[in-house]
Structure 1
Amino acid sequence: MKFSVKNPKKTLHLVSLGCTKNLVDSEVMLGKLKDYTITDDAANADVIIVNTCGFIDSAKQESLNTIFNLHDERKKESVLVMAGCLSERYQGELQKELPEIDVFTGVGDYDKIDLLVHQKRSAFSNEVFLASDENERVITGSSYHAYVKLSEGCNQTCSFCAIPSFKGKLHSRTLESLVKEVKSLVSKGYIDFSFVSQDSSSFLRDFDIKNGLELLIEEVEKIDGIKTARILYLYPSTTTLSLIDKIADSKTFVNYFDMPLQHITASMLKIMKRGKGVEKLNELMNHMRSKPNSFVRTTFIAGHPGETVEDHETLCKYIEEFKFDRANVFSYSTEEGTAAAESKDLIEQEIIDERAEIIGEIIALTTQESLENEVGKTFEVYVDGESEEHEYLLSARKTLWAPDIDGEIYINDNELGENEQIKFGQIYTVKVTELAGDKLLATVIR
C-alpha cells in the first residue's frame, strides 16, 4: 500500500508491506513525520521509507525488490530508510550488504523515526514498539475505517513461524490505552474498526487475564459512535466458546471469525505445535458456523514437513465440507530458526506447490459458493467510492467483511431517487441482484 499528497515542503514517500499490523506501525511513522508532505513521486521525495515484511520468502523478496527499485530511481540527496520486520530479523547481514540504505531500523523505534531521519542514524531497540493512545497516527486508505493494534509479539511456538524470534513474547496494550485510542478515532469520524495483533485471542494473557478480548468487547460497546467492529487473527488454543458467544451477542462486533487453522489432522497439528486437538478445533469451528450471519475466514499451509498424502487429502476434504467463506493457502517455506527447519521430513518443492494449487482450487470454489449465497439477499454495506472498474459503478463492502481482503461489491443502481446523492464512507442497505465473475452487483434500496 502506498500513500500520497503534495506541497513545497519536504516530501516523504512511504511503502508499507506485509500485514495490517505493519500498516498501523507505518501510520505511527507518518504521524511522527507529519511535517513532511506525503508524495507518490518516489523519484523526487526527500525521504523514502520502506516498512518491510520478514515473514516468508516471497515477502522478504518483495521487501528487497522494493528497496532496490526505489534506490535506483531516487534523487541523490534523499534519505532511504529500511524499517520493520525484515530489517529487524537480519539487521547484521543487511547493514553489511546494503550500503545503499541510509537508515536501518527494526520493530522497536517507529516512534523515534523523526529523530533517526533527521540525524541519518540507524537504531535497533531491544524492546518491540507497542503503539499507545499517545501515538498520533495518520490513518491511511479510509475516511471511516481504522485498524487498532492490541498487542505485539506472540507466546505461541508454531513450528513454521519465526515471528516470536524477532518480535519477542506477547506484550499487550492496556485496556485503558485501547479505549482512549478508539474514542479519539471516533471523535475524528471513524466508525468501523478492525482489532489486530499476531494472536488476538491471547490479548491480556501476559497480565494473567484469560478473557481479555471479552473485556475489550464490553468496553468498546460502551463507546458512542461506533457502527461496526471485528477482530482479526484468533488463535485456536486461546479462543473459547465463551468468546465466540460474546462476539455473536455483541451489538457492535459483527459475527466475523478469522482463525488461521493451518491444518486439520491430529498428526499435523501436533507436528506444527498448534496446541489444540482435532475434536476441540471442530467444536470451535462448528460453534462459529452456528452463529447467525457468521462469516468464517482461515489460512492453511500446504506441504509442511511431515505432511503425508493422507494428511493432504484429509485437509482437502475438510475444506470442501466446511465451506469457508474465505481462505488462503501458503506453500510451506523453510524459515531459519524454526522447529520445522530442523525437520528431516522435508517435502519436495514441486509437491508442496502442487498441494497448494489443489487447495487453492477448492478454496476458489467455496469462496464462489459463499458469494453465490449472497444473491437475492438484502444487507448493509459501506460505500467506499467510485470503483476502479467503471465510473458509473460504486465500490462497496459488506459491513460484515474486513477491508481489502474479503471482496468488493459493485453498486450499479440506486432506488433512493434522483436527488439523493450516495455519500462515501456511509452505511446503506442494498439488495444483491447478481454475481458477475467474483463481484456481487447490488442496488441501493435505503
Structure 2
Amino acid sequence: MKTRTRKQDKVNIITLGCSKNMVDSEVLSGQLLANEIDVVHENQKKDHNIVIVNTCGFIDKAKEESINTILDQVELKRKGKLDKVYVTGCLSERYKNNLETEIPEVDAYFGTMELPLILKQFEADYKAELIGERLLATPKHYAYLKISEGCNRTCSFCAIPLMRGKHVSRTMEDLVKEAGKLVSMGVKEVMLIAQELTYYGLDIYKKRSLNDLLHRLADVKGLEWIRLHYAYPSKFPLEILDAMRQRDNICNYLDMPLQHASDNMLKAMRRQITKSEMDELIHAIRETVPGIHLRTTLITGFPGETRDDVETVKSFLQQHRFDRVGIFTYSHEENTSAYDLEDTIPAEEKEARAQEIMEVQQEISFEKNQEKIGQTFKTLIDKKESGRYLGRTEFDSVEVDNEVIIQTNKKLTIGEFVNVKITKAYDYDLEGEIVP
C-alpha cells in the first residue's frame, strides 16, 4: 500500500490508563499541532491514517487492555485502514523488547520519556517553549496539571518507578504559566496530579514546596477550582491544609491513597507508616479543614493478607468514614520487591474481599450523601446526557466520585457554575434543583 503524503496525515492518539498518561497525550498533541500535523484524540470519524497508542502497564488488567488495543490497531493496519501504528507509554517503557518480538507489526515503540523521538517519526521538532500548549482530551472547562514525574517511594507492590523513573519536579514558574494558559483556553478547574504530590519540590527547592505552589496557583486569575490528587500519607506536609483553608479556590478535597489499614500489610507493602499514624493524620486533616472530603484507595489480596487484615480494613473504614473509596485487587508485578512473595490468594478471593470491603463503604457513602439533602452546593456543569445535566460539587473529582443529577428546563452551559439544592441522594450520586 502506498503511504500517503505528510500533508494528508492525520494522527489519532488513543490513551489508556491514568490521568498522567492523558496529560502526556495532550502534550504530544500540542507538539504535533505546533509542527502543523493534524491530530485528534480517540477519533470517532475513523478518518485518520496513523495511530499512536499511549499504553498503561500498571496492573494485569491494564496491561491486557493495552495489548488488546495494540493488536486491534495492528489488525486495522493489516487490512489497509492504517498506514502506521506507534506505541508509547508505560507498557512500552517496561516491556519494549518483548513487545518488539511479540508484535513486530508496530512501526516503532517508545518509552515514557521519549517524546522527541516520537516527533522525529513525523520529521517534527520538539518545541521546548510550548508550555501549556496542549490539545485537551478533556472537556475544555477542566484539565489535569502534572506537577512532577516519577517517584522515589519504594512501595513493594508498585512498578511505577520502573516505568517512570525517579521523582522530578517541574518548576513553579512553568506550572503557573501552564495554569494561566489553561485558563485562557476556558479551563475553570485544574486537578494537580503526580505519582506523589507531597514530594513536590524536594529535588529542585530542597524542601517540600507543595504549599508554596498552591498559593501561587491560587493567585492565577480565573482559576476557580484547584483539586489535589495522589498525596502520600507518610511525612504529610500539614501546611498544605492551611493553604486549603485560606484560599477559596482550593477545593476542600484530598485524594490520599492509603492502600491498607493493617500494620502487617502496611509493613509488607513498605508504606512507611502505621495505622495509628494514619489515624492521627486523618484526625489532624479534618480538624484543620472542617468539612473536607477525603478520598482514598485500597489494595486487597496482597500476599499474606489474612481475614483479620480484611476485618481491620472494614473497621478502619467504619471508624473514619471516608467520603470516597476506590479499591484494587493486588497484581503480582515483575521486578517489584513484592514479586519475591508468593501470590497465593486466588483472583476470585481477591475480588470477593474487595466486594466485601466496598459493601461497607457503600453504606457509609449512602449515609453521607443522605446528610446532604436540603443543602445547597456550588456545582460545575460537566455534561448533558439523556435530557438531564450532570455536574459536580467541589467535593467530587471527575469520573471517580459523585455526580449531581439536575433536571431542569433551563438551558445550562457546559462549564458554568450553578447553585444546586440537593433533593435526593443515592449510594454514589446526588440529585437536585437549581436555586438562585
Q: TM-score, normalised by structure 1?
A: 0.89
| Structure 1 residue 109 corresponds to structure 2 residue 95 | no
In 2: Cα distance, 1:32 partner to 1:93 partner: 29
Per-residue CA deviation, residues 383-419 of structure 1 (Å, 9 max, x unaligned), is 12312xx12x1121113321222132111136xxx6x
CA 204–309 in structure 1, closer or farther in 2 if over 3 Å, else same: same
State percent identity of aligned pairs.
Answer: 36
Following the alignment from structure 2 to structure 1, what is the Cα–Cα distance between the partners of residues 275 and 316? 11
After the TM superposition, which parts of structure 1 deviate over 6 Å for at least 4 consecutive aligned residues?
A: none
Do residues 162 (structure 1) and 159 (structure 2) align? Answer: yes
- 1:250 matched to which residue of 2? 247
CA deviation profile, 1:286-341 (whole Å, cap 9, x unmatched): 22333222111001110111222211111111112322111111111100011111
Note closer, same or farther for the CA distance 1:56–1:16 as it changes in structure 2 (3 Å cut).
Answer: same
Query: How far apart, CA to CA, are the structure 2 residues paired with 1:322 and 1:384?
Result: 30
Q: How does 1:188-207 map to 2 (within 5 A)?
A: 188-207=185-204
Q: CA RMSD in A?
A: 2.2
Partner SS, residue 431 of structure 1: strand
Q: Per-residue CA shift, 1:196-239, capped at 9, x if unaligned?
A: 00001100112353331101011112221111111100001141
State the match for 2:3 in structure 1: none
1:212 equivalent in alignment to 2:209: yes
| Other-structure match for 1:16 | 15
List gaps (5 residues or longer) in structure 1: 1-7, 120-128
Aligned residue for 2:226, secondary structure, equals strand
Closer, same or farther: CA 187–323 of 1 in aligned 2, 3 Å: same
Q: Distance in 2 between matches of 1:242 and 1:381?
A: 27
CA distance in 2 between counterparts of 1:184 and 1:277 reads 41
Partner AA of 1:364 in structure 2: Q
In the superposition, relative to structure 1, how do residues 344 and 73 fare at CA in structure 2: closer, same or farther (>3 Å)? closer
Query: 1:328 pairs with 326, 329, 335, which one?
Result: 326
1:378 is matched by which residue type in structure 2? Answer: T
Answer whether contact 2:20 2:193 (CA < 8 A) is retained: yes
- Pick closer, same or farther for the CA change 1:44–1:321 going to 2, 3 Å: same
Q: CA deviation at 1:118?
A: 4.8
Residue 345 of structure 1: CA displacement?
A: 6.8
1:174 counterpart (157, 171, 176): 171
Q: Specify whether residues 161 and 225 from structure 1 end up closer, same or farther in structure 2 by C-alpha distance, changes over 3 A only.
A: same
Q: Deviations over 1:77-110 (max 9, x none)?
A: 5211111000000011111111121121110122
Write out per-residue CA displacement over residues 117-172 of structure 1, whole angstroms, 9 at most, x where no aligned residue: 459xxxxxxxxx9x986362111221211111011110000010011122111001
Structure 1 Cα separation of the partners of residues 161 and 391 of structure 2 = 36
**Aligned residue pairs: how many?**
421
Between 244-253 and 232-241, report the one with greater CA deviation: 244-253
CA distance in 1, matches of 2:45, 2:56: 20
Of the structure 1 ranges 424-433 and 35-44, higher mean CA displacement relative to structure 2 is found in: 35-44
Q: Corresponding residue for 1:4?
A: none
Alignment of structure 1 residues 30-179 onto 2, 5 Å: 30-34=29-33, 35-38=37-40, 40-41=43-44, 44-74=47-77, 76=80, 77-118=82-123, 134=131, 136-179=133-176
Deviates more, 1:46-55 or 1:178-187: 178-187
Q: Any idea what SS the aligned residue of 1:430 has?
A: strand
| 2:285 corresponds to which of 263, 284, 288 | 288
* Structure-1 residue corresponding to 2:340: 342
* Structure 2 residue matching 1:18: 3-state secondary structure: coil
Q: Is the 8 A contact 1:133 1:178 kept in 2?
A: no
Contact kept in structure 2, 1:133 and 1:177, CA below 8 Å: no
User: Could you tell me which of 229, 234, 249 is aligned with 2:231?
Assistant: 234
SS at match of 1:355: helix
Do the aligned partners of residues 40 and 345 (structure 1) sit closer, same or farther apart at CA in structure 2, a change above 3 Å counting?
A: closer
